[in-house]
Amino acid sequence: MSGNDRARIILHGGIVITVGLLCGLPTTVEQISGNERHWHTAHEALIMMGIWMLVASSYMDALALERRERTAFLWSLMGMGYAFAIALVLGGIANVDAFDPGHTPLHFAVFLAALAGIFGAVMTAAITIKGALAAIRAARTGGSEP
C-alpha cells in the first residue's frame, strides 16, 4: 500500500471520529427530547469506527493483498465509516433506530445507510483476515507477498 493510501485512511478516520465526538454534544441537552439513546449510540459507534480506521492504517501494509483487494479494503473501510456516520447522525436527528427499517421513507433511508455500514464492516474484516492468512502462508513458505 502506498503512503498516500495510509494518509487517506488516517484522514477519513479522523473525520469519522470528529463526527462521533460532535454527536456527543446533543447528549448534554437532550434530557427533555427523549432521543439520548440514539445520540449515545452515534457518539460511541462513530468513535469506535474511526479508531478502527486509524488502526487499519497501521496494519494494512502487513496484509498480503493484490491490487484489487487493496482497493476493496480501502473503499470498504471508508464506506463503513461514512455509511455509519450518515445512518447514526440521521437516526439521532429523526429519533429513529438505524437498525430497524421503520415505516417512513426517512427511517428506511437510515436503515439502508446502516446496512451499507454493516456491509463495509464485514467486507473490511473479511479482507483483513484473507490478507493476514496470505501473509502468514507467504512467510511460512518463504514466498513474497503480492
Residue-wise pLDDT tens digits, 50-105: 999 999 999 999 999 999 999 999 999 999 999 999 999 999 988 888 888 988 99
- Is 68 a domain residue? yes
Full-model pTM: 0.88
Which of 105 and 37 is assigned the larger pLDDT? 105
Q: What pLDDT was estimated at residue 29? A: 73
Closest by Cα among 5, 13, 26, 4 to 89: 26
Q: What pLDDT was estimated at residue 59? A: 94
- Is 54 a domain residue? yes
- Is 50 a domain residue? yes
Q: What pLDDT was estimated at residue 27? A: 78
Rounded Cα distance between 143 and 123, Å, is 26
Domain that holds residue 116: 3-141
Domain count for the chain, please give it: 1
